[in-house]
Chain A
Amino acid sequence: MQSPFQRNDRTDGAHQRMISLNGISKRFGDLVALAEVSLTIAPGRVLGLLGENGAGKSTLMNILFGQLKPDAGSITSGGTALRLRSPAEALRHGLGMVHQHFALVPTLSVVDNVVLALQSSLGRIDRAAWSARLRQRADALRWDIDPTALVGSLAIGQQQRVEILKALLALDQAGSAQRTLILDEPTAVLTPQEVDELLPAVRALAADGVAVVYISHKLAEIARVCDEVSVLRRGRVVHRGPATETTERLTHLMVGSPVSQPSRQACPAPSTAPVRIAARDLTIRSDGRTVLHQVTVEVRAGEIVGVAGVEGNGQVPLVQAVLGLLSATSGSVTAPGKIAVIPDDRQREALVMPLSVAQNLALRRYREVPFSQSGWLSPAAWNVHARALMASSDVRAPSPDVAVATLSGGNQQKAVVARELDGDPAVIIAVNPTRGLDVGAAAAVLNRLIAARDRGAAVLLIHSDLDELLAISDRVVVLHNGRVSDSSWPVCDRAAISRLMLSGSPLEPRATGPLNVGAEATS
């Protein structure tokens, strides 16, 4: 998608209704989270808020949404000072927020989720009325939504629509003349085509007079959807300007130093290289469903094989089968017993949050000397090991003794990568390894995978970010509906790969609407 969306430059009367943050400061102990930050949010415009993890974006938005109190500074609306002591108060002033993590009950229907969030009193629940309001809002954004569908059965992109509609209805209910919607990393969990569908809706909201704050660290999206951009770095606004700045310049501003984007010449391993992971005609039935259908994938030493696909098309069973956690119904999987894994959900699958950084970094090797001797642990060795890995992998923590839960998401992921790639593993599986990371941290993780490949490791990369996947993979296979595309595709053919992800066919243009695709992706 190349066309810039229609910009709305209507500013009539907008000046009086602007929300201004003036000199907002916030400290947490010794850490300066925000230092004299000033922003202006205008109705009908989309303001991009760009910054790395830890730059202060979320702190700022939590202040705007009444969840945190600033140490200094003021928030004004059309010149009058606002007191925002709770999200409810923020809502009354027309400030709504869509969080990165959804607050939806999967076992309830769409309309029931809305009722749950918005109907405060105990009175009769008028589902029909709520459904009508929901439909009306959705129609304005050209979204097709079924109020009776169970939220748990919806694709992530559709769940997000429910969250946005919920926030809009909350604003309607609050009845404020002006409406401001904060979108916190709205595309972090979306597939490329879901992103393509979200961005026009954001523009439509702005056209309807909503002031939108779009928080992201994805520069391409900022350029596509925002009118202007403010860049936060270490709690300060370091740049304010049009969203049309070059990517390099914005990245530089955000990170504070030039970042080299990881990419390399695709170079499939020669057929003489030993096969490290081999799935042959792998079929897996689980709960009466065929989740993998005669899948054949090989990964040889010295190559990165990317698995593209909309989430829920068989990626999870494929990984589980390779790791030996799921047995094949027919066909075979050969893989070594020792595989380094960078799992999808680091907090649930890789880290033990209350334990220290040193303990988490030793989780693969605690049974080896010098980490333990005949069953007795040697904590001193754990600390030495942790300090070495933290230094070599740039894991930033005050000390190896702090709980890993206190680290930022990027540092947690770097810790996982440091642990898993420690000792030069021959086989690596990485699932969405840069999810939720900012540009700098993501580049660091991808570069580690490239380095591992260059020294001869076999890497199976499952990634929902197609750009990153294509940037570092040597070959790409596409999973669709539990089936894998015939053979591997050259990484340059992005269009064919996109079509394969959606329809399972590289040729025919998709006939079905976007929502049907979303529903198929549901697992």
Chain B
Amino acid sequence: MRRWLVGSGEFVIAIGAIVAVIIVVLTGLALLGHPPLTVLTTWFQGAAGSGTRFALSLQEAGPLLLTGLAAAVAFRGGVWNIGAEGQFLIGAVTMVAFGTVLLIPGPGWFSLPVALVLSTITGAAWALLATGLERWRGVPVVLSTILLNFIAIAVVGMLVQGPLHDPTTTAPQTALLPEHVRLPVLVDGTKLHLGVLVAALIAIALWLGLKRTTIGFEVQVVGLNPDAARLLGMPVGARQVLVMAVSGGLAGFAGAAQVAGVTGMLSGSPISYGYAGIAVAMLGRLHPLGILVAALFLGMLSTGASGLERRLAIPHDLGDVVQGLLVLAVLVAGGISARRALRPQAEGT
């Protein structure tokens, strides 16, 4: 069944957009005196020129994949969760709390998974606040999730400078997580951790879940046409709650995995994996496997951009610029193809 998830035309859209953006960016850099071929090879060497560089790209792709999946699951279910950023932070701060202050007794193989699960739950709970506000007070999720992001940033900032503050420093940061609650590193010399592998497995599980289970089918129907779903007797409300919980949980897990696998602590510096996840989801056309590829691509874009900065003195912000252009291009291409589908055909009636 070709149309089971998203039509194959979707991937043509994504790839066309990527090629178009690459051409535009290379042309721009050529005008600034950087030969396109040099830029491309330098970028590729930075992104995947060696095992270590590629592992770094994968490490960067991990949180993008999880927040991308978080956004995609919600969007597929028709729930406009723009709050992955806040849910990510809540998950991260939960991980720090259970790793440094509220210590979970027992060996690492026990306390690490427990802390990760608790972080997933707090991420989901933070997301469900928005669902609750919608259900009982009629607040649109698209608004409340954005606003809850700001609240999450404030709450985390308060915790980082308050109960979770590292007493050995004046910098606004938490203490480091002890070794036994860190995610195992897979490649020496990098911080590519087990969480990234888990994220890839989650992508495959979500793909199968959406494609092959009755619940996944219901989520799609509810997302595409809630009125019809209600008339057909589907549990619309329950599916929306499920989708929001999974979405928030994935973002929370992403935050916890980033702390337990890469940073080891939280500081006051801003992170934007939550918002980037929306970009990843759009680029992957809301398809779990498409998002897997999109996250890898954006991970490589990011590490490759730092290579460009080192070798060619092109600011690494270029990576963010390209990411933004990509999302715009994909949305424009998607809009064009949708409009083409709506053009008067053989018979309009």
What are the residues of chain B within 8 A of A343 when measuring CB–CB? 231
| A58 in contact with B221 (CB, 8 Å) | no
- Partner of A348 from the list B214, B221, B227, B341 (CB cut-off 8 Å) is B227
| B1 in contact with A363 (CB, 8 Å) | no
How far does the Cβ of B286 sit from chain A's closest Cβ, in whole Å? 12
Bound form: Cα–Cα A363–B234 in Å: 10
A97-145 interface with B by 8 A CB criterion: 100
Task: Map CB proximity to A onto B1-24 as digits: 1 under 8 Å, 0 otherwise.
Answer: 111100100000000000000000
The residue on B at minimum CB distance from A29 is: B346
A502 touches B (CB below 8 Å): no
What are the residues of chain A within 8 A of B213 when measuring CB–CB? 375-377
Bound form: Cα–Cα A401–B7 in Å: 11
Bound form: Cα–Cα A343–B231 in Å: 9
B347 touches A (CB below 8 Å): yes
| B228 in contact with A355 (CB, 8 Å) | no
A396-429 interface with B by 8 A CB criterion: 401-403, 405, 408-409
| B224 in contact with A57 (CB, 8 Å) | no
A54 touches B (CB below 8 Å): yes
B254-280 interface with A by 8 A CB criterion: none
B217 touches A (CB below 8 Å): yes
How far does the Cβ of A353 sit from chain B's closest Cβ, in whole Å? 7
What are the residues of chain B within 8 A of A351 when measuring CB–CB? 225, 228
| B349 in contact with A409 (CB, 8 Å) | yes
How far does the Cβ of A128 sit from chain B's closest Cβ, in whole Å? 37
How far does the Cβ of B345 sit from chain A's closest Cβ, in whole Å? 6
Given A323-B231, A375-B213, A403-B3, the answer on whether A58 and B347 have CB atoms closer than 8 Å is yes
What are the residues of chain B within 8 A of A409 when measuring CB–CB? 349
Sample of 9 further A-B pairs with CB below 8 A, known A353-B225, A366-B217, A401-B2: A28-B346, A57-B349, A58-B349, A59-B344, A59-B347, A325-B230, A359-B217, A367-B214, A377-B211
How far does the Cβ of B299 sit from chain A's closest Cβ, in whole Å? 30
- What are 29 A-B contacts defined by CB distance under 8 Å? A31-B346, A33-B346, A54-B347, A56-B347, A58-B348, A59-B347, A62-B348, A68-B344, A100-B349, A341-B231, A348-B225, A349-B227, A349-B231, A350-B228, A352-B225, A353-B224, A355-B3, A355-B220, A364-B232, A367-B214, A376-B212, A376-B213, A376-B214, A377-B211, A377-B214, A402-B3, A403-B7, A405-B341, A436-B349
The residue on A at minimum CB distance from B348 is: A58
B204 touches A (CB below 8 Å): no
Which residues of A pack against B, CB within 8 Å?
Answer: 28, 31, 33, 53-59, 62, 67-68, 100, 185, 323, 325, 341, 343, 348-356, 358-359, 363-364, 366-367, 372, 375-377, 379, 383, 401-403, 405, 408-409, 436
How far does the Cβ of A397 sit from chain B's closest Cβ, in whole Å? 12
Tally inter-chain residue pairs, CB-CB below 8 A: 94
| B3 in contact with A67 (CB, 8 Å) | no
The residue on A at minimum CB distance from B215 is: A375
| B224 in contact with A352 (CB, 8 Å) | yes
Nearest 6 A-B pairs (CB), nearest first? Answer: A58-B348, A33-B346, A356-B3, A352-B225, A54-B347, A352-B224
| A33 in contact with B347 (CB, 8 Å) | yes
How far does the Cβ of A180 sit from chain B's closest Cβ, in whole Å? 19
- Partner of B217 from the list A185, A348, A377 (CB cut-off 8 Å) is A377
What are the residues of chain A within 8 A of B349 when measuring CB–CB? 53, 57-58, 100, 185, 408-409, 436
What are the residues of chain B within 8 A of A57 when measuring CB–CB? 347, 349
What are the residues of chain B within 8 A of A31 when measuring CB–CB? 346
What are the residues of chain A within 8 A of B217 when measuring CB–CB? 359, 366, 377
How far does the Cβ of A324 sit from chain B's closest Cβ, in whole Å? 10
Bound form: Cα–Cα A408–B228 in Å: 19
Bound form: Cα–Cα A409–B349 in Å: 6
How far does the Cβ of B156 sit from chain A's closest Cβ, in whole Å? 37
Bound form: Cα–Cα A383–B4 in Å: 12
What are the residues of chain A within 8 A of B231 when measuring CB–CB? 323, 325, 341, 343, 349-350
| B347 in contact with A372 (CB, 8 Å) | no
Bound form: Cα–Cα A104–B157 in Å: 50
Bound form: Cα–Cα A104–B7 in Å: 33
Bound form: Cα–Cα A348–B232 in Å: 12
B197-233 interface with A by 8 A CB criterion: 211-215, 217, 220-221, 224-225, 227-228, 230-232
| B230 in contact with A401 (CB, 8 Å) | no
| A355 in contact with B215 (CB, 8 Å) | no
The residue on B at minimum CB distance from A363 is: B232
What are the residues of chain A within 8 A of B215 when measuring CB–CB? 375
Bound form: Cα–Cα A476–B7 in Å: 46
| B228 in contact with A352 (CB, 8 Å) | yes
| A67 in contact with B220 (CB, 8 Å) | no
Bound form: Cα–Cα A442–B191 in Å: 66
Bound form: Cα–Cα A405–B341 in Å: 10
Given A350-B231, A351-B225, A372-B214, the answer on whether A379 and B347 have CB atoms closer than 8 Å is no
Bound form: Cα–Cα A401–B217 in Å: 15
What are the residues of chain A within 8 A of B4 when measuring CB–CB? 356, 379
